[in-house]
Amino acid sequence: MTSHATSVRLRPRRVVRHLLVGLTVALVAALTPTGASTPAQAAPTLLSQGRPATASSTENAGTPASAAVDGNTGTRWASAFSDPQWLQVDLGARATISQVNLLWEGAYGRAFQLQTSDDGATWTTVYSTTTGTGGTQNLTVTGAGRYVRMNGTARGTGYGYSLWEFQVYGETGGSTPTCGSSNVAQGSPATASSTENAGTPASAAVDGNTGTRWASAASDPQWLRVDLGSTRTICRVVLTWEAAYARAFQLQTSTDGATWSTIYSTTTGTGGTQSLTVTGNGRYLRMYGTTRGTAYGYSLWELAVHTTGGTTEPPVDGTDPRNPNLGPNTFVFDPSTPTSTIQSRLNTLFTQQETNQFGPQRYAVLFKPGSYTADVNLGFFTQVAGLGMSPDDVNLNGHVRTEAFWMGGNATQNFWRAAENLSVTLPAGQTVERWAVSQAAPYRRMHLRGGQNQIQLWNGGDGWSSGGLLADTRVDGLVVSGSQQQWYSRNSEFGNGWTGSVWNMVFQGVVGAPAPSFPNPSHTVIAQTPQVREKPFLYVDGTGEYRVFVPALRTNSTGTSWYNKTPAGSSISLSQFFVVQAGTSAATINAALAQGKHLLFTPGVHHVTEPIQVNRADTVVLGLGLATIQADNGSVAMRVADVDGVKVAGLMFEAGTTNSPVLMEVGPSGSSASHASNPTSLHDVFFRIGGPHVGKATNTLTVNSDNVIGDHMWLWRADHAASGVPTGWTLNTADTGLTVNGDNVTMYGLFVEHYQKYQTVWNGNGGRTYFYQNELPYDPPNQAAWMNGSTRGYAAYKVADSVTSHQAFGLGSYSYFNVNPAVVEERSFEVPTNSNVRFTNMVTVSLGGVGTINRVINNAGGTANAANQTVYLTTYP
């Protein structure tokens, strides 16, 4: 709808609206007797004017939510042209609501509800209609709450919803909310200190089924914890005990799952059903048992939590999907943008970011469908991406490249950048595209056109590169790896094949892959990818609406998801996303998630002091410009519930200066649900302990859920010097990179480096890893500082002794003990000897002969040291 059409459409309705208001005033005056006496009473007050207003969407920048509460009948809020839509006002305090006036523009609601809420999350309907006629509606209602919204479910026209004014009348200081009857714990994530067996999980106490139960081990103390999703005002807890009850226990609340406050305590519990009136606030509630009433453990049929509905979470702004605010560091170009403007911006960004590997700047450069002429030379923390449904919808005549001239041709520090969803046509007379990168630099969903062309994965003729990813990509010509030390290619198509090998090249589901030949050359070839979902991506549809496409799961796949085919998957309007700007608190982010929103993080460093909690199945969390979430004050950065189909993509997680127990947790401890048909997946998710400042985290990523897919991850601890970067064995401290406790977890393209104990610990059954790159910590000061009991050092990849099935393909582990070259690692891979635990194609390297790896796997394989720097082993056992 053009601005001209808007102005024409509104002219007659402005007259109607003023006539309606005038008639209403005149009618009230006519029906009020002159000098009539009425009982004295407090008149309802207009509470909404000038208050903060939010909406599910806006038609354009000229029709914001605030226009409906500004007292100006010449301005309006208008929504997108879809159902449902809502407009919400925060009154600032709880109020008793007696009247709501809706002054509709021509685009009105035929079916809508008026709703109140104390927390902006749980709503009570105080008025409902399916026969709305628009105009001015003065509606008498009875209700109370801090928040009031119009929730439209069916539009009366082909346009959106549009209100000149949204007026809420009432009196502040409403009555204290009563304790709610609903059980907010039911279905929420639950964890426990222990379980008696697999049939008595923590989740059984919050499933609403009084025939299932949680039971603990037979020892003291034990606890059961439930995550309510946001901070709640808790007024009653009901414990339905099985015979094994608690004689002494406390009920405790917490905002972060770490620091607890006791809101109830007893030492004379009698079991049975206990309905306990309490007063407390918290996101987490737990029963903490200190003395059992029987010789058995603790056992609860159900744990129910009731609240007044109050939370501390703020309201959440809606997103206009046609004109979203993607932050100040996102640059969107369309074909009408002058070529000189585009190139100037690209040059400025590269100059700033070429060497800026530890600065806070983050950038995304996005191209709408069309054809462009541009030379895109990517520096640190810069993402370039097309906004088409197919890479071929955006063609750059020029280059999308990464060079290593800033390090004299050495690309081993070219990290943290991305090229996605574009096609590239090289300039006439040029046949080489250079992508000289190492970790965390995906070349994903790309198309390099021209069978005569080649892409070089190193700087060409000089220097080294050390590990990267090609995924869902078509190269019409030849891929040349040169001095690239290791590389993972997945579900791609190479028109003229691949040439080159150093230590560890892995090809999976690749059309045009070389023949398998490990170790000479070191090509590991896996014909198909058993189950994978490609990374979600932002695009603009044919109407100009921003949407996110979520590719479908593929099974036993080869080749790309898009070339000469229609991608399978689903599309989500950006109106369903909360766009996270730098400075947004975790509380606001969690409030958006609690309202059913997906998340889009804008480029920048986002600081959190409590976990971002993703509780809803199928939630999409997508970052632009390698957006970074930093865990401050020892917090966990993100927790994902044990639910189906969460997708987290394009983000970096960074440790703060106070130690965090873990940066990201997928599924709480004890997770056991199957997600085989709809797994959670992590795409281009990177982790950093130290770098721009001292960083500390005991664990980095812990996967407790079953069936999780990892699609390209780099977990990294800063352990060697760079300009101005604090490093040291006792400064950047981190025990473990990846811990997998869930079953049937699959990792594609896994990079884990420099941790102080095990790099990767795998405790779940049925795990699979396709391509693994590891460097051991550079900085153990001596052997005594790096001992695992009586064993020298810690393995790079540890499969627990209890595991009965595991597979891994194409693994490399390297030592460079430059602080003390006398340090020895006993073995790189430590696994149970079992015919169903199989490792295929491994390499260990003593880089430059600095340090020793005594064995490849268990007690098999040779020694990598100064005399024999590279050792291969093809199978174990």
The pLDDT of 48-69, averaged and rounded, is 93
797 in Cβ contact with 828 (< 8 Å): yes
Q: What 3-state class would DSSP assign to 15? A: helix
Tokens for 605? 């460093």
What percentage of the chain reaches a pLDDT higher than 70? 93
- Closest C-alpha to 581, from 635, 631, 639, 623: 623
140 or 364: which leads in pLDDT: 364
Q: What pLDDT does 10 receive? A: 30
Specify the pLDDT at position 37.
33
C-alpha torsion angle, residues 374, 377, 378, 379 (rounded to 10): -140
| CB < 8 Å & 24+ apart, contacts of 587-593 | 587/230, 587/231, 587/312, 587/313, 587/314, 588/313, 588/314, 588/316, 590/229, 590/230, 590/313, 591/120, 591/121, 591/230, 591/311, 591/313, 591/314, 591/315, 591/316, 592/316, 593/229, 593/619
Helices (H), 202-318: none
pLDDT at res. 173: 59
Give bridge partners of residue 470 from the DSSP assignment. Answer: 443, 489
Strands (E), 500-565: 504-508, 523-526, 529-533, 537-540, 546-551, 553-557
Q: Is the separation of the CB atoms in 87 and 150 below 8 Å?
A: yes
DSSP secondary-structure letter at 477? S
Please give the DSSP secondary-structure letter assigned to residue 685: E
| Confidence (pLDDT) at 1 | 32
Mean pLDDT value of segment 71-95: 92
Place of tokens 């709703």: 115
Question: How large a percentage of the chain has pLDDT more than 90?
Answer: 79
**Can you tell me the mean pLDDT for 551-563?**
97
Which segments of 32-135 are extended strands (E)? 45-46, 53-55, 77-78, 85-104, 109-117, 124-129
Beta strands in 320-446 (DSSP E): 330-333, 363-367, 370-377, 382-386, 394-401, 417-420, 423-425, 432-434, 443-444
Chain segment 497-535, per-residue pLDDT in tens? 999 999 999 999 999 999 999 999 999 999 999 999 999
User: Above 60 in pLDDT, residue 301?
Assistant: yes
Task: List, as one string, the DSSP characters of 145-195.
Answer: EEEEEEEEEEESSSS--EEEEEEEEEEESPPPPPPPSS-TTTTS-EEES--
Query: 3-state SS of 695-741?
Result: CEECEEEEECCCCCEEEEEEEEECCCCCCCCCCCCCCCECCEEEEEC
* Res. 314 pLDDT band, cuts 50 70 90: low
Q: Which helix (H) or strand (E) holds 16?
A: helix 3-30
Give the pLDDT score at 12: 29
Tokens describing residue 440: 């965390």
State the Rg of the chain over Cα.
30
pLDDT at residue 607, as a whole number = 94
- Provide CB contacts within 8 A for 626, sequence distance 6+: 362, 381, 382, 383, 416, 417, 418, 603, 650, 651, 652, 686
pLDDT of residue 722: 62
Contacts of 7 (CB under 8 A, 6+ apart): none
pLDDT tens digits for range 278-300: 888 889 999 999 999 999 999 99
Tell me, rounded to whole angstroms, the distance of Cα 855 from its chain centroid. Answer: 38
Residues 6+ apart with CB under 8 A from 572: 547, 548, 549, 550, 598, 620
Q: How many CB atoms lie within 10 A of CB 566?
A: 9
Top mean-pLDDT range of 142-156, 303-317, 643-657: 643-657
Q: Give pLDDT, residue 701.
A: 98
Spatial CB neighbours of 294, under 8 Å, sequence gap ≥ 6:
243, 244, 245
pLDDT digit string (tens) for 202-225?
Answer: 999 998 888 899 999 999 999 999
- Is the pLDDT assigned to residue 400 strictly greater than 60? yes
Average pLDDT on 342-354 reads: 96
Cβ-Cβ contacts under 8 Å for 607 (sequence gap 6 or more): 630, 632
CA dist 280 and 252 (Å) reads 9
The CA-atom distances, in angstroms, between 765 and each of 699, 707, 731, 799 are 20, 10, 35, 9
Q: What is this structure's pTM?
A: 0.69
SS3 breakdown of the chain: % helix, strand, coil, rounded to 5?
A: 10, 45, 45
Separate counts of helices (H) and strands (E) for the chain? 3, 62
Q: Active site residue: 775, 825, 826, 830, which one?
A: 775
Sole residue written with tokens 């005399």: 867
Sort strands 569-573 and 553-557 into parallel, antiparallel or unpaired.
Answer: unpaired
Does the structure show a pLDDT above 50 at 248? yes
The 10 Å Cβ neighbour count of residue 128 is 12
Centre a 10 Å sphere on the Cβ of residue 131 and count the other Cβ atoms it contains.
7
Q: Are strands 474-475 and 447-448 parallel, antiparallel or unpaired?
A: parallel
- Alpha carbons 171 and 93: distance in angstroms, whole number: 10
CA-to-CA dists, residue 680 to 197, 303, 547, 643, 713, angstroms: 25, 27, 20, 8, 14
242 labelled catalytic: no
Question: What value does the mean pLDDT of the chain take?
Answer: 90
67 HSE (CA, 13 A, CB side): 20
Given a contact cutoff of 8 angstroms between Cβ atoms, the answer to whether 748 and 712 are in contact is: yes
The residue that leads in pLDDT, 733 or 315, is: 733
Note whether 536 and 549 are within 8 A (CB). Answer: yes
Residue whose C-alpha is closest to residue 147's, from 76, 86, 227: 86
Please tell me what DSSP assigns to residue 259. S
What is the pLDDT, as a whole number, of residue 179?
77
Going by pLDDT thresholds of 50, 70 and 90, the confidence category of residue 724 is: low
Give the pLDDT confidence of 649-681 residue by residue, as tens digits.
Answer: 999 999 999 999 999 999 999 999 999 999 999
What's the pLDDT at 43? 52
Minimum mean pLDDT range among 62-66, 214-218, 459-463, 684-688: 459-463
Which is it for the CA torsion 106, 107, 113, 116, positive or negative?
negative
Phi and psi at 25, nearest 5°, equal: -65, -45
Q: What is the pLDDT of residue 13?
A: 30
Residue with more model confidence, 173 or 117: 117
The helix or strand, by DSSP H or E, that contains position 11, with its residue range, turns out to be: helix 3-30
Phi-psi region of 467 (alpha: psi -120 to 50; beta: other; left: phi over 0): left
Pair 487, 468: CB distance under 8 Å = yes
Which residues have CB under 8 Å from 56's CB, separation 6+? 79, 80, 84, 85, 86, 87, 318, 575
Structure tokens at 284: 């987490």
- Match 């009857």 to its residue by tokens: 181
What are the pLDDT digits (tens) for 798-837?
999 999 999 999 999 999 999 999 999 999 999 999 999 9
Lowest model confidence (mean pLDDT) among 203-212, 245-254, 614-623 = 203-212
Confidence check: pLDDT of 14 > 60: no
Q: Which two tokens stand for residue 190?
A: 């639950």
pLDDT (0 to 100) of residue 587: 86
